[in-house]
Structure 1
């Protein structure tokens, strides 16, 4: 059974499954004894309870309690992208740099692919050559070392006299 209940303090409506001893208001976080809450409807399915709650909220909107989203002038809010990103804890310069890389059409490569590309592009690549190539592409040296060893053990590359070759 699902019940649509309301908070005495903030007038929020929410759905409670079953008959718990207590429940917490999702808006004001006040804990209420379920038996003392005002129950607006009881249904057998969560979908029906959701429809009842939605219709009750829609009736409130008709009374003018909620703001019409169309009436909000988003341009008047006065926050630009950089301010928004900074307030969200994101470095706006890093976002710009990522966008620029994306616009230039540089395909992103996985770290494993960088190591494989190093084996292909370098002439007679030694372990040190591959590690330097990977490091220049931003791949940590420890990852490149592990990847070379895994590729060798998997039979995808061979090492002879310190020189790697893809198979």
Structure 2
């Protein structure tokens, strides 16, 4: 398989194209281009090499070429990203979430083996957890791929509709 780093003639975006398709769409401006007419900065059989060339070109454009050159290779960037910042537990602790409660919810979800939609994840948390707090509902919903912002909006709607009551921080589905 071949990989090519190509550039958009309309907006200047760079992306990697696999193979030799008839057309390719710019990921930034969504313009369709005939592959044969796209400017190819590099063509290679190594996908990582193509990604590295694209990343280097973007770093040079942004004036960060020297910093990028200090990396051993493109995959090292992924290793640095994994090591940077806080762990998941540190992040949850800083956000005021009890990680032990999250672990307990994880175990319950894994044992149940279910996959829930957004709305159903919130309602199931309210039904199955014993007077859960908002953070416990968020943790339960997060295990089903539901973001905290959605949980907040859903709980607000349920409160306004009179479907949920809150007493001393504990929520109960009516």
* TM-score strictly above 0.5: no
| TM class by smaller structure | 0.3 to 0.5
TM-score (norm 2): 0.39
Question: Which protein has the larger Cα radius of gyration, Structure 1 or Structure 2?
Answer: 1
